[in-house]
Structure 1
């Protein structure tokens, strides 16, 4: 996969990490197709030259199949799939609405899984392909009031890790990229749930204040994009790439420290005492 004359499909490519990945792959000569829930909102000057922008709403269970139908035979020519689009969600475990959890898992897990299933036959027949799941370090280091989001990213990583063992004999490699704190402005778009008069209100406010500050001070999305491109072009990409939040140090500490102590450290970094 060292060649760059590849056809890449990048979800959520109009902002943040996705936009940086689109620009990086296009600069390397890839044919890039990217998606957004509303691509028409993007002015011509905001688009990356030569990139094709299509509509995809991953919260719609029929979204991936509708995109595949629109692409027709092109869906079988995809060499690289970057499952980047997703929803960030916060709220106390006790108060998360069931409908919100359902939507989150449809967007962050079931949609990317279905899209991967749609591109895999072509990759397997050609004997090469790359699928990158953009996860989150919260999958490896869960945080209070981010239970639904952490669980969705952990589920995505579980699918990817198991499927990697099935597909690598065919030259198709699946990797997970877990970003830490990234300065993408995602905190402004995060869906937040908190009941009026909630007993968790102070805790949630403290956590979000620290989380948003960490994200504002985080690394640039272009740094994550460079890691993703490395996984795309590597002859044998790793199972997991972590970038940001002083990675790989947290993963080293996770291996040597008791689980309970590691959870306390993660909580303390977000102003929570446990």
Structure 2
């Protein structure tokens, strides 16, 4: 199918990778729809011309079904050729101190919402014999980091859903891929939800980790580079199961195959100022 004929839904298309992807796809002539928690409050400069903005709060268990309902896409949900599950929450905090509600919200946003949205677009894709679903994950799913346990786990769960579902859907011409970016210069550090108890015994460790994490992100790859990888996955006749971009990829994955798991974990920790 020609790129310009594609109808693409990108979640979280108002900033970062989502914004770069929306701009790229719109320039290619695709019919582009994207989401925001509150599109009515978007400044005109936040909107890409020709792109349709829809309301979606993935932390709301009913969010995806509301988007697909009469007040949102309605019958148009069956017209989606490509779904890019990009929106998500970045979270940090010591494992011991993460509030249960915060972990629950994170999994609703990063896992259950994208999974449900994928389920809603699949019947139309399967009937047409064509579809692409891209899960935007994180290298932390492959290389977990201290004080990022909830985020790492959510992205690993999303990858597990995608990898298994790909085997079910490929006979119908529907391909699911995971894109795992490393550090990206999107300013996400300022939007990350952070949890740390007062007088926490982990305070010094968390501060060191966040300092290195923020520095890595500030010097990371551009959102446009990640968007280009996603576009490659969309237009490929047979997209790969897994794409890694940034943070010297594919070197970390090659090292992970050659080195003991414990040693690899120590390397990841050391890169964030932590000695284990």
Instruction: Provide the TM-score with structure 2 as the length reference.
Output: 0.98
- Structure 1 residue runs of 5 or longer lacking an equivalent are none
User: What are the residue-to-residue correspondences of 1:153-232 with 2, within 5 Å?
Assistant: 153-232=155-234
Aligned to 1:31: 31
> In the alignment, is the contact (CA less than 8 A) between 1:2 and 1:235 conserved in 2?
no
1:61-94 Cα shifts (integer Å, max 9, x gaps): 0000000002111100000000000000000000
Aligned to 1:57: 57
CA distance in 2, matches of 1:106, 1:205: 27
CA distance in 1, matches of 2:42, 2:240: 34
CA shift, 1:38, in A, is 1.5
User: What are the residue-to-residue correspondences of 1:241-256 with 2, within 5 Å?
Assistant: 241-256=243-258
Aligned to 1:75: 77
CA shift, 1:46, in A, is 2.5
CA distance in 2, matches of 1:149, 1:190: 10
Aligned to 1:233: 235
CA shift, 1:20, in A, is 0.5
CA shift, 1:109, in A, is 0.1
Residue aligned with 1:130, SS: strand
> In the alignment, is the contact (CA less than 8 A) between 1:2 and 1:234 conserved in 2?
no
Q: Which moved more, 1:262-271 or 1:33-42?
A: 33-42
CA shift, 1:116, in A, is 0.1
CA distance in 2, matches of 1:72, 1:58: 18
CA distance in 2, matches of 1:38, 1:182: 24
> In the alignment, is the contact (CA less than 8 A) between 1:128 and 1:170 conserved in 2?
yes
CA shift, 1:47, in A, is 1.0
1:141-196 Cα shifts (integer Å, max 9, x gaps): 00000000000000000000000000000000000000100000000000000000
RMSD: 0.7
CA distance in 2, matches of 1:252, 1:80: 30
Q: Which moved more, 1:213-222 or 1:42-51?
A: 42-51
- Structure 2 residue runs of 5 or longer lacking an equivalent are none
CA distance in 2, matches of 1:166, 1:222: 31
User: What are the residue-to-residue correspondences of 1:35-184 with 2, within 5 Å?
Assistant: 35-69=35-69, 70-184=72-186
CA distance in 1, matches of 2:234, 2:28: 12
CA distance in 1, matches of 2:24, 2:258: 36
CA shift, 1:2, in A, is 4.7
How many residues were matched structurally? 274
CA shift, 1:205, in A, is 0.2
